[in-house]
């Protein structure tokens, strides 16, 4: 290819703090570059004209981790444990997700991202895993970010298993929410030992790259070939849009 694929990477934004700041864990930038892409940060304050101008040039979209999605987007009252809700971020990411899906745009949805993807397709979330009965597994690890802390089984024959090159992965985990009702056209294809959904893909995706994972592969790429393969497959799909 004559140029690096341009990969839009959404960012976090501070909520109720002055001055407002948009920010991103650097690991996303490194993981996209390592896979051969050029990251383009998409902060929530971005206006509609700038957003559209960037979108016209992008080849793929990474939805990143961060605060909680406002439960009003799936029609539920807010649980007291819901935190760091940004109206601007929800609006930008839901809009870009719908565009990506409508246009067959390569989409890699990570942590909060898999939740945004699910909600954009009409799905819902468990708003606070520790408040749900019968969930003994810790999904909000205190270990360092590159340290895997729980196991994930990936459905054999799934697109995600083919991309990862395995159907058993050990992952890091930094989420207190999880997918509940699945969005239209999404299939759960990976699960933690407690049944929490850890991966999704499109039920009838064809050649489209639409993959969501609840863990943080961007923090694992140095040590985990499966995490590297996930970013590589995504950036290759972005590059193939040409
Ligand atoms: Mn987890």
pLDDT in tens, 11-45: 999 999 999 999 999 999 999 999 999 999 999 99
pLDDT in tens, 79-90: 999 999 999 999
pLDDT at position 1 over 50: no
- Residues forming beta bridges with residue 196, ordered by sequence position: none
Hey, what are 44's tokens?
Answer: 């929530």
pLDDT in tens, 108-124: 999 999 999 999 999 99
176 given a catalytic annotation: no
Domain residue ranges of the chain, discontinuous segments joined by +: 6-241
79 given a catalytic annotation: no
Residue 119 CA to ligand 1 centre (angstroms): 18
Contact criterion met (CB below 8 Å) for 70 and 53: no
pLDDT in tens, 221-232: 999 999 999 999
pLDDT at position 9 over 90: yes
Query: Averaged over 217-221, what is the pLDDT?
Result: 98
Query: Averaged over 147-169, what is the pLDDT?
Result: 97
Query: Averaged over 147-176, what is the pLDDT?
Result: 97
Query: Averaged over 41-56, what is the pLDDT?
Result: 97
pLDDT recorded at residue 239? 96
Hey, what are 205's tokens?
Answer: 């995706």
pLDDT at position 184 over 90: yes
**Which CATH architecture does the domain made up of 6-241 adopt?**
3-Layer(aba) Sandwich (3.40)
Percent with pLDDT over 70 in the chain: 98
For the CA atoms of 145, 101, 205, 164, the dihedral, rounded to the nearest 10 degrees, stands at -10
151 given a catalytic annotation: no
pLDDT at position 94 over 70: yes
What is the pLDDT of the chain when averaged over all its residues?
96
Angle at 31 between CA 165 and CA 216, to 5 degrees: 70
- Tell the residue number behind the tokens 């270990």, with chain if given: 143
pLDDT band at residue 241 under the 50/70/90 scheme: confident
Which among 73, 93, 111, 198 is annotated as catalytic?
111
pLDDT band at residue 133 under the 50/70/90 scheme: confident
pLDDT at position 207 over 90: no
Which among 73, 126, 175, 216 is annotated as catalytic?
216
Contact criterion met (CB below 8 Å) for 170 and 152: yes
Residue 57 CA to ligand 1 centre (angstroms): 33
Contact criterion met (CB below 8 Å) for 138 and 173: yes
What is the 8-class DSSP label of residue 183? P
pTM for the model = 0.97
């Amino acid at each position: 290819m004559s140029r690096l694929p341009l990969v839009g990477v959404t960012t976090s934004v501070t909520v109720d703090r002055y001055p407002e700041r948009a920010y991103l864990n650097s690991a996303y930038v490194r993981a996209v570059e390592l896979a051969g892409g050029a990251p383009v940060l998409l902060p929530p304050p971005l206006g509609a004209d700038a957003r559209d101008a960037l979108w016209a040039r992008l080849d793929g979209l990474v939805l990143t981790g961060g605060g909680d999605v406002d439960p009003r987007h799936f029609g539920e009252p807010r649980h007291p444990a819901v935190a760091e809700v940004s109206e601007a971020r929800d609006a930008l990411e839901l809009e870009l997700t719908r565009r990506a899906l409508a246009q067959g745009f390569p989409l890699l949805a990570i942590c909060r991202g898999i939740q945004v993807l699910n909600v954009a397709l009409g799905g819902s979330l468990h708003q606070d895993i520790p408040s749900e009965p019968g969930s003994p597994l810790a999904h909000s690890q205190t270990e360092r970010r590159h340290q895997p802390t729980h196991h994930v089984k990936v459905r054999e024959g799934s697109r995600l298993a083919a991309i990862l090159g395995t159907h058993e992965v050990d992952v890091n985990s930094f989420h207190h929410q999880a997918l509940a009702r699945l969005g239209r056209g999404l299939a759960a294809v990976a699960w933690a030992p407690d049944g929490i959904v850890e991966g999704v893909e499109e039920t009838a995706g064809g050649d489209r790259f639409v993959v969501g994972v609840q863990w943080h592969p961007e923090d694992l790429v140095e040590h985990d070939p499966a995490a590297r393969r996930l970013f590589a497959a995504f950036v290759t799909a972005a590059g193939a849009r040409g």
